[in-house]
Amino acid sequence: MIEGDNLEHLGSLPDGSFAMIYLDPPFNTGRAQRRVRTTNERRPSGEGNRLGFAGRSYHTVREVLAEYDDTFADYWEFLQPRLLEAHRLLAQTGTLYLHLDYREVHYVKVMLDAMFGRDCFLNEIIWAYDYGGRTKKRWPTKHETILVYVKDPQHYYFDAEAVEREPYMAPGLVTAEKAARGKLPTDVWWHTIVSPTGHERTGYPSQKPIGLLRRMVHASSRPGDWVLDFFAGSGTLGAAAAEAGRRFICIDSSAQAIDVMERRLGAYAEVLRRR
């Protein structure tokens, strides 16, 4: 676990060293959160004006979106250099999972198409849950989005059989054998939030359930691989990785997050000592 500005620490990590990167950055909600500071752009060597879809560079796409939405422009100045570092740090067979909500995901999807290359887009995962308030002014928002990109669309690692299966929604429509075995998850993941009174709860705001991260870790990394989360928060990726026999690095600038992670991951001391 590393405490500090993630951008200051990422540059010290070697190229291509992570099989999987999971990121759950601030969602730019505009509500009661510290405004992120802008940073100077840092680019991996040799990728300064990388071409994406329709032959356009991500610089051009960023400029167009900046003109369209000032709020997004501020957010991108924060997020862009960190995503460039994520691209550099991914192994050639590696996978990025970027967790966002409806406020920025459409803009960031366009930027990642340009940054990684549109052919490197693998999935848009919808995490659907059913908890919280119910507005009557519109359809209540009960989902978040996880964008999945790979470093190399021809050689990425993905093991569907390693993922825990889930029950069929209509088991009577399949054979008894299939119903007993369960089905592989699709790109819509129905999973409850972390229960406010459950044993998994750490008390850290925006904590994500370990079931989501467990699924990503099992599908996109092998035992012994390194995985990374540099908006680590409560350390859910670290917990899922240690549980699955993966090695991990978690970075966060919040002293509260580091304290939560130290307490939460204490059970995995042996894994931490191998780092």
Q: Is residue 246 part of a domain?
A: yes
Structure pTM? 0.84
Q: Is residue 56 part of a domain?
A: no
Q: Is residue 62 part of a domain?
A: no
| Mean pLDDT, each 10-residue run in order, the chain (275 residues) | 93 97 79 35 43 52 55 75 96 98 88 93 95 86 95 97 94 94 95 86 89 97 98 95 96 92 79 53
CA distance 47 to 35: 29
Give the model's pLDDT for residue 57.
58
Q: Is residue 262 part of a domain?
A: yes
Give the model's pLDDT for residue 260.
92
Q: Is residue 160 part of a domain?
A: yes
Give the model's pLDDT for residue 61.
65
Instruction: Provide the token pair at 192.
Output: 């409850």
* Domain region containing 40: 2-50+86-104+121-273
Give the model's pLDDT for residue 75.
77
Domain tally for the chain?
A: 1
Q: Are 227 and 18 in contact (CB under 8 A)?
A: yes
CA distance 194 to 200: 7
Q: Are 221 and 19 in contact (CB under 8 A)?
A: yes
Q: Is residue 267 part of a domain?
A: yes
Give the model's pLDDT for residue 28.
64
CATH number at residue 224: 3.40.50.150
Give the model's pLDDT for residue 133.
80
Q: Is residue 248 part of a domain?
A: yes
Give the list of residues 6+ apart from residue 5 with CB closer than 8 angstroms, or none: 253
Q: Is 175 left (phi over 0), alpha (psi -120 to 50) or beta?
A: beta
Q: Is residue 81 part of a domain?
A: no
Give the list of residues 6+ apart from residue 75 with CB closer than 8 angstroms, or none: 28, 36, 104
